[in-house]
Amino acid sequence: MTPLPLHNIRVLDLSHLLPGEFATLYLASLGADVIKVEAVQAESFADEGLLIHELVNRGKRSIMLDLKTESGQRALHKLAATADVIVEGFRPGVTARLNADYQTLRAINPRLIYCSITGFGQDGPYMNRPAHDLNYVALTGILIKNAAPHGDAASAAPHPIPIQLADVGGGAMPAVINILAALYAREKTGEGQYIDVSMLDGTLAFAFLLLNTPSTILMGGAMSYNVYETKDGRYLSVSALEKKFWQHVCEKIERPDLISLGNDTQANVNELRQLFRTRTLDEWMNLFDVDQTCIAPVLTPEEVERDPQIIHRGVLKRDGERLLVAMPSRFGDMPAHLASPAPKRGEHTEEILKELGLTIN
């Protein structure tokens, strides 16, 4: 079997929250040997007994080190000498106090790629502020738009979005992309480098269109791009932005007079809402030619697992009561695969220390 692309890369994961752990999960899924460096006492998902620990630490080994002690730091330095990548998520300045910062470890291993994931980056007036996903989404202008565009009383106020956009999209994904780019650059230069990932910066990347246009077409203000309730209390998503797709919708609902109004945010969307309430979701899905326009049912989490396209691609995999996401990309004919189960905290401490020629104190 062809080895995964990162099979000869070693990653040290010093993070303890979702952005860093999700980033290293991706690297593990690509074949990297990810060693999770667990603190003896730490505020982590593992300590809280949360399911998320098991979801984001699959495919990793775990070593427990007390980085506040000389012996713990010595072990980390030995590990750093063997590593290609380090990912950490401490606030600025913390790693320096632990002798685990880039300058210290680069002196040990000049080829090291060191990625820091923080909320606001390593500089600026907010650099030392604590924050979570909701705060970053709020600061980027995304949250204010997560409300009814026409002042519907039930949802006019901003409310949290149901995914960790800043943690995963603004933190983990930029980290993975830049780590892979740095590994490629190292092949040419032989040198490692430092990567400063700000979750606020990364989340802003998702808001580039929102910040550049006042249009509400993509925010529920247009007929052609909206969510409609059906007769049975279900919902249908319509995203027929192109004229050919919207024309198909209008022809099927027998309203050719609306063809020219699809992307008009001044048109009366409520009229169409009333129309879609006259049939059930299944009736609408059967009416439209799904190969001719952009429509999809709004699925419940239970239905997502049963969707035929999702089943066919094999990205969602069930492990007992847990629903896991496999690596969502394919290399050649390699099928979607799951990394091995998450380790217990410190499970591989003795094994890894032996590899380094060290023993447990």
Its pTM stands at: 0.90
Q: What is the pLDDT of residue 148?
A: 56
d(CA 122, CA 216): 35
Q: What is the pLDDT of residue 211?
A: 86
Dig out the tokens for 13 from the structure.
């994961």
Report CA-CA distances (Å) from 283 to 26, 231, 276.
40, 10, 10
Q: Name the residue among 224, 235, 234 with its Cα closest to residue 272.
A: 224
3-state DSSP percent of the chain in helix, strand and coil, to 5: 40, 15, 45
Q: What is the pLDDT of residue 332?
A: 73
Q: Go through the chain and tell me how many residues it has.
A: 361
- Which residues of the chain, if any, have pLDDT below 70? 1, 42-50, 148-156, 214, 360-361
Q: What is the pLDDT of residue 361?
A: 58
Backbone angles phi, psi at 174, to 5 degrees: -60, -35
Q: What is the pLDDT of residue 64?
A: 95
d(CA 87, CA 24): 8
The tens digit of pLDDT for each residue in 212-247 reads 876 778 888 899 999 999 999 999 999 999 999 999
Catalytic residues: 132, 167
* Domains in the chain with CATH codes: 10-208+333-355 (3.40.50.10540), 218-306 (3.30.1540.10)
The tens digit of pLDDT for each residue in 287-313 reads 999 999 999 999 999 999 999 999 998
d(CA 232, CA 162): 24
